[in-house]
Amino acid sequence: MPRGRNLKLTEDPHRRRNALTNEWVLVSPHRATRPWQGEIAPLPGAAEPAYDPSCYLCPGNARVGGNRNPSYAATFVFQNDFAALKPDTPHARLDVGNMDLLVSEGEPGICRVICFSPRHDLTLATMSLHEIELVVDTWVGQFRELAGTKDIHHIQIFENRGAMMGASNPHPHCQIWATYSIPQEPTKELATQANYLRTHSRCLLCDYVAVEQGQQVRLVCQNDGFVALVPFWAVWPFEILVCSRNHMGSMQEFTKETVWSLSDILQRVTSTYNRIFGVPFPYSMGFHQSPCDGVEHPECHFHAHFYPPLLRSATIRKFMVGFEMLGTPQRDITPEIAAERLRELAKT
């Protein structure tokens, strides 16, 4: 950089630090208009039917493995028939030859599936506010139950939406993976939050939300309980971070009002996403909350991440390859420009 010239975040290639993970993202604003000659994914197929006799999540249908779904009328929770984790696994550590090279640990856990609705054709973006409240109520109930379960120290609720994200079934549903150990991403984020609290005597995300409220440029939408924004360090083109406006650690602290305001934000974020390219928008989303490991976590601030893969149209997705796999993730369109576009669409 020539001496005396300040960095222009709208023009100069630069890297930004993710305050939650301490990782970096490379931003190349000048490349946002380069032509695309790569893969174009097929458009999603025709609209889904309200009931699909071949869907293993629809009410009354049989699942692989022989169980039959009840004729449920709102939400429906069941143990995953092909669970990645089993509750009776020993949590022993194994270090072959004590060489500190071939190290493994048993991972006891519980995997559940939550159907959001009996309707095969609905999504969070098209469900009514009341229907989404029933989903959030179910998450709260599941979180509280699993948090009190032996050998469960962390609860990950997540939704994969769309074939592009590898969702095997369009029926609206999410998964819960409750584990003995705290997974990698929350471990990184808890460490930065704890460090920030030690250094500044304040909560990292409370401070971050205040900065974003002041600058306004990365805000998408908000209500009394939650704010949705494109984080300063976003990697995915239309990534969104949803934070509670008041400090809270987990769904243990939710009230009726919190359930309503989270439902409202989820409806607004997902329907805004669908308006970007005029298609059902694929994404992975999930909540980061206080671990239930018997230790206080004053550093932990409840939030949700939305990671959508689409880049410049309904059929062009972002890939994490080359420099991103071997070096640092990179983006062209700046988080501020993405936020401006989302904010306009969130108003309509």
Q: Output 57 or 147, the one with its CB closest to Zn ion.
A: 57
Query: Angle at CA 22, nearest 5°, toward 17 and 28?
Result: 30
Min dist CB 190 to Zn ion, Å, is 9
- 89 burial (CB, 10 Å; 0-12 / 13-18 / 19+) is middle
**Minimum CB distance to Zn ion smaller for 21 or for 313:** 21
Active-site amino acid positions: 173
Rounded alpha-carbon distances, angstroms, from residue 210 to 174, 191, 245, 246, 247: 31, 21, 9, 11, 12
Q: What share of the chain is helix, strand, coil (3-state, %, to 5)?
A: 30, 20, 50
Q: Which residues bind Zn ion (CB under 5 A)?
A: 52, 55, 57-58, 120, 171, 189, 203, 205-206, 247, 288, 301
Distance, CA of 156 to CA of 148 (rounded, Å): 15
**Which is nearer to Zn ion, 29 or 161 (by Cβ)?**
161
Amino acid at residue number 214: G
Q: Which is nearer to Zn ion, 185 or 340 (CB)?
A: 185
SS3 per residue for 241-253: EEEECCCCCCHHH
Tokens of 240: 């969104």
At its nearest, how many Å lie between Zn ion and the CB of residue 277?
Answer: 25
Least Å from the CB of residue 166 to Zn ion:
17
For Zn ion, give the closer residue by CB, 273 or 287: 287
- Least distance CB 193 / Zn ion (angstroms): 8
- Least distance to Zn ion, CB of residue 263, Å: 20
Query: Which tokens is 148 given?
Result: 């009190």
Query: What phi and psi, each to the nearest 5 degrees, are found at residue 180?
Result: -75, -45
Nearest alpha carbon to residue 251 among 329, 178, 323, 315? 178
Two tokens at 69? Answer: 């779904």
